[in-house]
Amino acid sequence: MTKKPTCSCGYDRDHFMVTAEADFSTWGWFWNLFGVTAHPYRLRFICRQCSEVIEVIEDREEIRKYH
């Protein structure tokens, strides 16, 4: 079993102190303006305590689980 990536505090991406920030493509922003929910092309998991980026995911299926 592979160990999940963590920040300096030891939190992984499922921890409640960790926020997922979505990056949208230009088209994603465009659709969001019109109230259409576009899926982000990238998610960054950031620790709210130390502001470290724990993990970046670009896999569509993975993003769907978190978005």
Among residues 65, 61, 55, the alpha carbon closest in space to that of 5 is found at 55
Which one of 9, 20, 57, 63 is in contact with Zn ion (CB under 5 A)? 9
12 binds Zn ion (CB under 5 A): no
Task: Tell me the helices (H) and strands (E) count for the chain, helix number first.
Answer: 2, 3
| 45 in Cβ contact with 54 (< 8 Å) | yes
Which one of 27, 50, 59, 67 is in contact with Zn ion (CB under 5 A)? 50
Question: With respect to Zn ion, which residue has the nearer C-beta, 9 or 22?
Answer: 9
25 binds Zn ion (CB under 5 A): no
Residues contributing to the site for Zn ion (CB under 5 A): 7, 9, 47, 49-50
